[in-house]
Structure formats: structure tokens, C-alpha cells
Amino acid sequence: MKKTAVVAISTGCLDYLDMNTDNLFILRCKIIMGDKTYNDFVDLNASSFYDQIKNDASLVPSSSMPALGEIIETFETIEKAGYENALVITISSQLSGTFQTCQMAAQSYEGKLNIHVLDTKNAAISEGFISLEALRLVNEDEPLDSIIMYLEKLSLSRKQYFMVDNLRLLVKNGRLSGAKGLMGRMLKMKPILEVNDEGKIVPFEKIRTQRKALEKMVEHVLNDLKDLKNFVVTYDTSDNEEGFEYVKNRIEEAHPNHRYYAAPITPVIGAHTGHGTVGIAYFDLDAAKK
């Protein structure tokens, strides 16, 4: 079996999990605040980032994708380490240019490495879960073509919702599709947003209070999970532990000992969601295997 490396993006929040694997490589996005630029997680982690934006409402952080040269250098490192394949798992191409830049790097790479770039159509820890599945299957020596086919189905076999406490950064940074004319009507709302099948963030439901929004979000997920036998849930938050615990506990009450992954929303995503966000997604694993 040819050796395969998995290349994830820091947007997938894998840095916050207890990972111990040699064949995982993480490309770092950047957070820009004022005249300072930080490597995601390495220079600025979630805790420090949310402390800063909570304490200074004038901060408008932005983000940038990994540079083309950095991606090519990572491919060189992987090939020198003896790998023959690289499976690159990216954040949704509708939310970042990372997928396209990784494709450009793969096309211009002059080494012998066989590179495949996958658009997860997801973000945050649900994106990270797809990278985890890639690692699992690679380490089980599944054929690369079969892994890619499964991951492509998995990326669409999910629903992903999140409640944002404030739409300011999502709208300002252009990450919310259909946001024209939305800001004035929804500034005082705690809307439920979803990542649709194209990988775009779109409005799902308008709610007036955070508690009601969290309740509604859980109700939608629980209603869907009633018909599923084999699923995984992902949870994430940008420094809203109370909301995070409420959502997780509600799902646990209905599905004791359910399989899940949870992580903070890393700063490069938090630069758009702001603090106070709570997200939940589920994957229908049986649908992905069909």
C-alpha cells in the first residue's frame, strides 16, 4: 500500500483535539488584526482571540488563506518524508479560496507526489471530522479512490447549523450569503444559520433570543436524528460554554452515549462568526456508505 498523508486546514479545528498521528499535516490560515498577522492556533488560539474581541468591540479581524508557497513547501516536506500520496481536505470553497489555492499548488507541484484536493463543503469541526475520517481510512489501508468517494458522499450527508450572537462580522466580511438588506432587520435577532449543500452560509430561521434559538436548533436536529441509526454529531462554540453545554446535553438526553466531536471555533473562523456562536452538525454515516 502506498503511503498517504492527510493535509488538513487549521479551519477544521483539529488542533484542539488530542491528536497523535504522524501522517497528518495542517496548513495554517492567518488572522489579521490591525497591523498584526497571526498564524491560526500557533500564534493565537481560541481563548486568547475571544478575550481580545470581547474586550475591544472596535476590533474587526479578518483572515487569509495559506499562501501558495507554503502549500508547495508542505507538499515537498510530505514527499521527502516518503509519502507517495497527499489527500488535502479543505474548508468549503464557498467560504474561502483555500480549496482553489490548494488545487493551484497541486497543479504546479513539480515533484512525484500524487495529490488530491477535496472540498468538504463544511467548516469548523464538521470539516475537521471529514479529515478524521480520511485519517481513519488511510490508516486502515483502504484504497485511495474508495476513500475519496466516501468522503465526497460524507460531505453532503450532513446538516450543519449554528446560532450567532451577532451578525456584524459575518456580514462585514462577506461570509453570509443573501445578506443584502438583512443587517438592519436582524441586528437584534439571534438567527439560526446553516451551511447548505453548496457549502454556503445562509439564513435558516430568525429568532429573537439566544435561548429560543438554541432550543429551536436542537429541535431541528433531534427531529432529523429520529430517523437515523448511525450518525456522528459535531459541536463547536466561540466562547459560549453555557450555550454549548445546553445543546450537547439536550442531544445526550435523547441519545445517551452518542458519538460526537467537540472543539472551540478556531480564530480564523471566529474572525467571521464573532464570539457567542454555538454550532451543531450531524453526519448520516449510512447515507455516506451507499
Domain shared by 163 and 150, yes or no: no
CATH number at residue 281: 3.30.1180.10
Domain shared by 101 and 162, yes or no: no
pLDDT given for residue 31 in this prediction: 97
**Left, alpha or beta for 89 (phi > 0: left; psi -120 to 50: alpha)?**
beta
CATH number at residue 147: 3.40.50.10170
pLDDT given for residue 20 in this prediction: 85
Give the model confidence (pLDDT) of 120-176 as tens digits.
999 999 999 999 999 999 999 999 999 999 999 999 999 999 998 776 666 665 555
By residue range, what is the domain housing residue 189?
158-289
Domain shared by 141 and 198, yes or no: no
pLDDT given for residue 111 in this prediction: 95
pLDDT given for residue 181 in this prediction: 44
pLDDT given for residue 103 in this prediction: 98
Domain boundary among 135, 156, 177: 156
185: which residues sit within 8 A by CB, 6+ positions away? 206
What are the backbone angles phi and psi of residue 68, rounded to the nearest 5°?
Answer: -55, -45
pLDDT given for residue 171 in this prediction: 63
> Which pTM was predicted?
0.93
Domain boundary among 132, 156, 180: 156
The C-alpha cell of 14 is what?
A: 483539529
Low-confidence ranges of the chain (pLDDT < 50): 1, 177-184
- The domain total for the chain is 2
Domain shared by 165 and 51, yes or no: no
Domain shared by 147 and 211, yes or no: no
CB atoms within 10 A of CB 1: 10
